[in-house]
Structure 1
């Protein structure tokens, strides 16, 4: 199995832009203290982020709502001393940042207020990618797109993106941007992995048709596809499923069958289940950069090793056979 020092980073363009991003993005949700399953250690978080940067990862994804700004401030500390021109810093806006009116959503006011807070915490004059974290049914999309367009004009934002919504909502946003000549979303951040394939029947066909880059979140289904859990056995202490039902909801017969195939292929290729699962995403033409969320140095090294795992068309089909993707699915927005 390849260690992180053995793996040469690969880069691609984000969607149809000229922006070069590493094939794996570093997800920074774990950098904070909002939940028991997060790292809860600022120094270790900074060190882990710098290890990723040293390995060639130039794409870091965070959000203002991750531990109410704590993640952004950790990222800001981690990037000190690195070449800012090489880095692609991505953050998001939508979720509540406090109690009371105007503390959440995608109104012009909230978007303008939050970009400045994010920039202060990140310690930078601009973000490369500013993403709406969810669709806001209470704010006209025209208002949000106009606000994002103004931020690009002001130089505070380089590109805009979106995350997690119904296909009709994303299509509407792209159409309004085209008609009104607003800055267009260049990428979409959907939940996408071997056991959560519902976006194949929702957002991914739109992204492929419209030249929109795809940066999947939860590429390992909250750790389920890393193979750290077993059917019928107690959930290990210290794992995400021990404190967060997001991962435990993946414990279905259908998903265990997927993991069986993942483990079989991993054994055949002298790889890990996480590497095979990430390699499956990396072999998808529509995917630019899966967002990995390691909590330890060995997790990071394992994730980076996926870049050296090759899958044939037959192996891709084996991995996909247990699940038929459909939208909507129970429990999804």
Structure 2
């Protein structure tokens, strides 16, 4: 992309819905300074404008981001143009310390949280509501029926789920389909070149159920920018979570090498790699400055060639464990599908088999 040339945003479908969303979503956990870091309200509004000017239309927030300030900033910034955007927020986490029923996925928590979010966002409905996390105390039928009630009431268009195991998402959607309730249309999960464990169960599940995948932490909390290799300081342990555990600097160095060869930034390479994954994978953009956002938006015009993708895939290859390790390989594939399995191109074979792409197999 030439200097000064605008990035060309493209669009995809939000899972099984017909809603068109931009290929990069705007994450707004940085909107507001209530947590001691992040962007001011004025800067946050400029970030949203810059994202919209680039063609972005998918805004992601949560009821607890900066104590609700994120939603308030968005509501103010979207005044008069709210319907141009696909607006999503989340519920589950406690909103009032000491009030036990302001946490969880039960009907009371959902209703109370949703009404508060709608007020802060200045709208009468949401395009998408994420269930932020699994609450094992709330029966799954209660949650799915309560979500469907809000859809039927016109306060939600669609529902989705974040940070759940694959088996329970599949169970929830099966239940919703059997009972004519609203199924999840998307799944939000942590996915990047340093965290590829979702490829074992979650991503195959998402492709099978036609769920859009929204990838949070696409830069591994800044590690994939290469700044820690340069000795810069950051917040790898922000919030008390050690996101750096188990990472490998070899992956970061390969990202930097690919970026230097292509004339890109390492962050642009990390975003481009996510966009190259099978199915619908939508990276979340997070930024605190306009320059940072502009640079990352330009990743939509970065296309990694087969050699670069191979190098990145190989250096970051995850170990999926059982049963994937047992069932991978020529011997076990032939054991299950027969010795002439290569002639069968109309049926799927295990994701782990190296020849599945060259044969044009479904997954």
Say yes or no: TM over 0.5: yes
1:257 alignment counterpart: 250
Structure 1 CA distance for aligned equivalents of residues 252 and 214 of structure 2: 22
TM-score normalised according to structure 1 size: 0.91
Structure 1 CA distance for aligned equivalents of residues 315 and 281 of structure 2: 24
Structure 2 CA distance for aligned equivalents of residues 217 and 104 of structure 1: 22
Judged with a 3 Å threshold, the aligned counterparts in structure 2 of structure 1 residues 209 and 32 are, in CA distance, closer, same or farther, namely same
2:308 is the alignment partner of 1:315 = yes
Shift of 1:324: 3.3
Please say which structure displays the higher CA radius of gyration: 2
1:128 alignment counterpart: 127
1:28 alignment counterpart: 28
Shift of 1:5: 5.2
2:287 alignment counterpart: 294
* Cα distance per residue 1:118-157 (max 9 Å; x no partner): 0000001111000100111000011011111011001000
Judged with a 3 Å threshold, the aligned counterparts in structure 2 of structure 1 residues 244 and 228 are, in CA distance, closer, same or farther, namely farther
Unaligned 5+ residue runs, structure 1?
329-333
Structure 1 CA distance for aligned equivalents of residues 240 and 144 of structure 2: 34
Structure 2 CA distance for aligned equivalents of residues 144 and 211 of structure 1: 21
2:284 is the alignment partner of 1:283 = no
Match for residue 97 of structure 1 among 95, 98, 103: 95
Give the conservation status (yes or no) of the 8 Å contact 1:258–1:320.
no
Shift of 1:171: 1.5
Shift of 1:4: 7.5
Pairing of 1:117-196 with structure 2 (within 5 A): 117-196=116-195
2:50 is the alignment partner of 1:57 = no
Give the conservation status (yes or no) of the 8 Å contact 1:4–1:301.
no
Structure 1 CA distance for aligned equivalents of residues 136 and 320 of structure 2: 20
RCO comparison, higher one (Cα < 8 Å, 6+):
1
Judged with a 3 Å threshold, the aligned counterparts in structure 2 of structure 1 residues 256 and 152 are, in CA distance, closer, same or farther, namely same
Judged with a 3 Å threshold, the aligned counterparts in structure 2 of structure 1 residues 181 and 326 are, in CA distance, closer, same or farther, namely farther
SS of the aligned residue for 1:146 comes to helix
Unaligned 5+ residue runs, structure 2?
322-363
SS of the aligned residue for 1:220 comes to coil
TM-score normalised according to structure 2 size: 0.83
SS of the aligned residue for 1:290 comes to strand
Structure 2 CA distance for aligned equivalents of residues 2 and 32 of structure 1: 33
